[in-house]
Amino acid sequence: MSIRRPDPLAQVSDFDIRLLRIFRSVVECGGFSAAETVLGIGRSAISQQMSDLEQRLGLRLCQRGRAGFSLTEEGREVYQCALQLLSALESFRTEVNGLHQHLRGELIIGLTDNLVTLPHMRITHALAQLKERGPDVQIQIRMIAPNEVEQGVLDGRLHVGVVPQASALSGLEYQPLYSERSLLYCAVGHPLFYADDKALDDARIDSQDAIAPTFRLPADIQARYQALNCTASASDREGMAFLILTGRYIGYLPDHYAGLWVQQGRLRALKPTTRFYDLSLASVTRKGRRPHLVLESFLDSLAATR
């Protein structure tokens, strides 16, 4: 019964690649002595590594001795195969490096509404850098309620989101991005619009019809809404703005978002030195997510814009 000899190179290791590179240099230099300068190692070390390669391959690759250096028939074939392999490795390295330089793919972002008026513009700048690095990257932005952003990241419909930071949900990672201040506003036509802050007592403010958000907020901020007479609710800040602008409700809005209406004389802040809260906004990604070069590039740019 014949015994099948195992393949000498069932697996190609880094050591094999190194030996093949040395073999290529020896062949291109025409011998061991001439290859010493190119490789930066002595002739005895080259000879030893050539012997190691021959042993690994189970083939005699070259003749060396008084007659000089020459390849065997097998050596010529191995040399051609080595050229193909090393060329393929170089092409692989170039292509992978190219992926970092020229990103391709898709980025789906879920955003809490009305972040575009933030003066820091971190998301905008990070998107600009991403587009510069990867002109072919396709970006989708979905403006949805914060609770839907977190759920979308959890179930994989979104790659990343930006939400008000409350208690962390299991399975998600949060990185702080912004801190924004919200003030208590009323609109022209509301009974408190022309009231003097100094004469305006808290009991009168707390008795007005107010709006509560339905998205998650930290406990200390929720307590501020519980002190109000909340008779309406909204799933996002734009919905709250709609109701405040009716002139029938009071409610908290980010100052950067309300700023234009304040300048137009349509909104005013009530007792802004005491009726305010600061809210952290964070990027959110899924724990244990698969590697995603476009997403990681966006997150790196987001971190760099701090």
Distance CA(293)–CA(180), nearest Å, equals 30
What angle is formed at CA 97 by the lines to CA 121 and CA 133, rounded to 5 degrees? Answer: 20
Residue-level pLDDT at 2 = 46
How many H helices and E strands in the chain? 11, 11
Residue-level pLDDT at 246 = 97
**Residue 252 · residue 226 · CB < 8 Å:** no
| Residues in the chain with pLDDT values less than 70 | 1-12, 67, 94-102, 305-306
Least Cα distance to 253 among 239, 241, 268, 236 occurs for 241
Least Cα distance to 258 among 275, 241, 234 occurs for 241
Residue-level pLDDT at 209 = 97
Distance CA(244)–CA(232), nearest Å, equals 10
Residue-level pLDDT at 226 = 95
Place of tokens 């019964």: 1
In this structure, how many other beta carbons lie within 10 angstroms of the beta carbon of residue 8? 11
Residue-level pLDDT at 90 = 74
Beta bridge partners of 278: 181
Residue-level pLDDT at 40 = 85
Residue-level pLDDT at 8 = 60
Residue-level pLDDT at 115 = 78
What is the reported pTM? 0.64
